[in-house]
Amino acid sequence: MNANLTSAQDKVAPTPVLVELEINPEEASQFCDSIKKVSNVDINACYQCRKCTSGCPVAYAMDYTPAQILHAARLGLKELVLSSSTIWLCAACETCVTRCPQDVNLVKAMDALRVMSLSDGYKSKEPDVANFYRYSLGNIQLFGRLYELGLMGRLKLATREFRKDISLGLGLFKRGKLKLMPDLGALGETRRIRSQVRKLEKR
Amino acid sequence: MIYGYYPGCCLNSTCKDFDTSLRAVLRALDMPIKEIKRWSCCGSSAVHIASRQMAVSLPLANLAKAEKQGFEQLLVPCAACFARFKFAWHEIEEDPELRQEVEQALKHKFTNRLKILHPLEFFATDEMMKRVASARKRDLSKLKVVCYYGCFLSRPPDHFDDPEYPQTMDRAMRAAGAIVLDWGYRTDCCGGSFSLTRTDIALKLTHDILDGAREVGADAIVVTCPFCHMNMDARQGEIEAKYDTKYGLPVYYYSQIMAAALGAPEKEMMLQMHFVHRQGVMEKAGSNGD
C-alpha cells in the first residue's frame, strides 16, 4: 500500500505576506493587557519557537499561522488579529497547549480574541463558523439541552445552502439519530445561568 | 455506591447507540448509575464565543446539581463534555476570584469532594480489566482495531492520560479481547467543530485519520467522542467520494465493543445505527453482524 505523503505537504504553513504596519508601543501593551484580562493568559511568555504552528492541524487553512497571530498580538496589531481567519479556524484541539514549552494557553487566548472581535464589531472572515457558535449558544439558552435539528435548520437559513448535508441529515434521521422534537428536560436552566453570569460580566 | 451519570446532549439524541451500549456494559459489571436530574448542556459547541465566566458556569452548574443530589462520583462518557467539565474545574481551582464569582452566580459552594470520572479510566484499572476479561461471553480475538482518542479526551495534559500517546482505551479493548493495533493518529484532531461549517476541513482531517487506520490494517476504529464518530462514520462515504478511495471501515464506540464482549443482546449493542457496515467485521466478535 502506498503511504500517504500529501498530508505532510498540506501542513506547510501559508506563505507569509510581507506587510508594513505602523506599530504603536502603547497599543501593544494595552492589547496584551486586555487579552490577559479576558483570558488570564500572558502571551508575552511566547518566544516564537513555532511548535504551535507545526502541530496545528488547521494552520494550512488560516490566513496567519498561530505563531504569527501571537506575534502580531504582542505588537498590538489589533485590527490584523481581530479580523484574521485564524481566530475562527482554531479547532480548540489543544495540540499547541500540550506542546508549548512556555505554557502559553493559545486556545484560551483564541477564545478571548473571538469574544473581543465580536464585541468590537469586527466582521468575521468565517461567518458560518461565527454563526454556528452564536446559534448554538442561542439554541441551548432556548432549550437547555442542544436541539440538533433546530440548530441545523437555523444554520441553513443563514447560509442558504439548502442542499448541503441533506443526505447526511436524512441518513441520521433514518437511523433514529435525529430527534424531531427538542428535549425540554432542562428548559430554562441555561437561560437562568446566563442571566446570573451577565451580572458578573458587567462588573 | 451509586454513580452519578451525566449523558449530555449527544448521548441523549444523536448517539443513542453510545448511551444504550454503555448502560448495558455498566449493568453487566454491576455498576449502578443514576442520571443527574435536570442536567443541562455543558456548552461544548457554543462556548467558543462565550465569556470565560459563561464557559465555566455551564459545566459547573451541572457539577453543582450532582453535588446537591448527593453524588460523590460523576461518570461523564462524552469526550467533549468530559473535557469541558475538567476544564471548568481546573479554571476555578486555579483562580480563586473566578471561583467566588461563579459560586455566587450558581448559588452553590463547591465542596471539592465530587470526582469527575471518564468510564474508560474506570474500565482500564487492573481490577476492572480482570473482571471484564473473566466475564467475556463473545470471542473478539479475530477483531483488529485501532483506538482513536481524539483531542477532547486526551488534552489538556494532566487531565486524562498521556496527551500524545494515551493507552487507557487500548487497555480496555484488550481486556474485551480484541487485537489492538498501534498507530500514529490516536490523538489527531478530526475537525469535529467544523463538521457543519467548514466541512472541507473536517473531511480533510478525518481522511488523514482513516488513511492511518487503513495503513496498519485495522478492521475497525474504536472511538470515544460523538463528534469524531459523526465525522468518521456518517461522513465516511463523502470522504471516499471526495478523495476517490474506499475505506469501508466501521467505527464503533468503545462501549459497543465491550457490550459485544460481555454478551449484551444485539439490540443493546445498537450496531444498526451506524452508516458504515462491513460484512464480517462484527461476526468476528461472534455477533450476528451489523
* Domain presence at residue A90: yes
Q: Label residues A184-200 b or e (16+ Cβ within 10 Å = b).
A: eebeebbebbbebbeeb
**Taking residues B88-116, what's their average pLDDT?**
93
CB distance B52–A139 less than 8 Å? no
d(CA B108, CA A182): 28
Write the CB contacts of B31 (distance below 8 Å, at least 6 apart in sequence).
Answer: B3, B122
Q: Is the Cβ pair B40, A144 closer than 8 Å?
A: yes
Q: Domain spans of chain B?
A: 3-119, 126-285
Tell me, what DSSP letter sits at residue B161? S
Listed residue (B227, B160, B223) closest to B10, CA to CA: B227
Query: B203-227 pLDDT, tens per residue?
Result: 999 999 999 999 999 999 999 999 9
* Ramachandran region, residue B286 (left: φ > 0; alpha: ψ -120 to 50; beta: rest): left
Are the C-beta atoms of A107 and A55 separated by less than 8 Å? no
- Residues sharing a CB contact under 8 Å with residue B85, sequence separation 6 or more, in sequence order: B6, B42, B59, B62, B63, B74, B76, B116
Length of chain A: 203
pLDDT of residue A74: 94
Query: Considering the domain boundaries, does residue A161 fall inside one?
Result: yes
Whether residues A94 and A137 fall in one domain: no
B74, B96, B110 from B93: Cα distances, Å: 18, 7, 11
Residue where a domain stops, chosen among A119, A141, A156: A119
User: Do residue A102 and residue A189 come from a single domain?
Assistant: no
- Please tell me the least confidently modeled range out of A33-37, A126-130, B285-289: B285-289
Q: How many CB atoms lie within 10 A of CB A27?
A: 14
Residues A106 and A143 occupy one common structural domain? no
Confidence (pLDDT) at A14: 62
- The percent of residues in chain B predicted with pLDDT above 90, rounded, is 86
In a domain, residue A13? The reply is: no
pLDDT score for B285: 65
Q: Do the chains contact at A152 and B13, CB–CB below 8 Å?
A: no
Residues A106 and A131 in one domain: no
In the predicted model, is pLDDT for residue A9 greater than 70? no
pLDDT of A159 reads 86
Among residues of chain B, what percentage have pLDDT more than 70? 98
Tell how far CA B245 is from the center of its chain: 27
Is the predicted pLDDT of residue A103 greater than 70, yes or no?
yes
What's the gap in Å between the CA of B161 and the closest CA on chain A? Answer: 12
Examine residue A12 and state whether it is found in any structural domain, yes or no: no
pLDDT at B18: 97
Per residue in A16-42, pLDDT (tens digit) is 666 678 888 888 899 999 999 999 999
Tell me the pLDDT of chain B averaged across its residues: 93
> Would an 8 Å CB–CB cutoff place A190 in contact with chain B?
yes
pLDDT at B290: 59
- Where residue B42 falls among pLDDT bands split at 50, 70, 90? very high
Is the link from the previous residue into B156 a cis peptide, with omega within 30 of 0? yes
Classify B110 as helix, strand or coil. Answer: coil
Out of 3.20.20.70, 1.20.1050.140, 1.10.3720.10, 3.30.450.40, which CATH number does the structure's domain B3-119 have? 1.20.1050.140
- CATH code for B126-285? 3.40.50.11810
pLDDT surpassing 50 at residue B39: yes
Confidence (pLDDT) at B235: 97
A144 and A99 co-located in one domain:
no
- Kind of pairing between the strands at B144-148 and B73-75: unpaired
The one-letter amino acid code at B271 reads L
Strand spans (E) along chain A: none
Q: Average pLDDT of B108-119?
A: 93
Which run of H or E residues covers position B223?
A: strand B220-223
Output the average pLDDT for chain A: 88
User: Which of A68, A94, A119 lies at the terminal end of a domain, its last residue?
Assistant: A119
Q: What is the pLDDT of residue B289?
A: 60
Residue A31 belongs to what domain range? 21-119
Averaged pLDDT for residues B265-281: 89
Q: Do the Cβ atoms of A189 and A144 come closer than 8 Å? A: yes
Give the pLDDT mean for B236-261: 97
Instruction: Give the β-pairing of B73-75 and B3-5.
Output: parallel
Is the Cβ–Cβ distance between B197 and A129 less than 8 Å? yes
Quick one: pLDDT at residue A7? 44
Strand partners, B251: B221
Query: Domains in chain A: how many in total?
Result: 2
Q: Is the pTM of this model over 0.90?
A: yes
Residue A9 domain-assigned (yes or no): no
CA distance B131 to chain A (A): 32
Lowest-pLDDT choice from A76-85, A158-167, B80-89? A158-167
Q: Is residue A3's pLDDT more than 50?
A: no
| Distance separating the N- and C-terminal Cα atoms of chain A | 60
Provide mean pLDDT across the span B46-52.
Answer: 82
Q: What pLDDT sits at residue A1?
A: 44
Work out the percent of chain A whose per-residue pLDDT is above 90. Answer: 59
| Mean pLDDT confidence for B103-107 | 94
Residues from chain A contacting residue B13 (CB–CB below 8 Å): 146, 148, 177-179, 183
Tell me if A191 is assigned to some domain: yes
Query: What's the CATH code of the domain at A104?
Result: 1.10.1060.10
Look at residues A119, A141, A176 and tell me which one is the last residue of a structural domain. Answer: A119
Identify whether A15 is part of a domain: no
Minimum-distance CB partner of B48 among A111, A152, A193: A111
Q: Which residue has the cell 473531511?
A: B203
- Position B223 scores a pLDDT of 97
Query: A81 lies in a domain?
Result: yes
Average pLDDT over residues B171-180: 97
pLDDT of A4 higher than 60: no
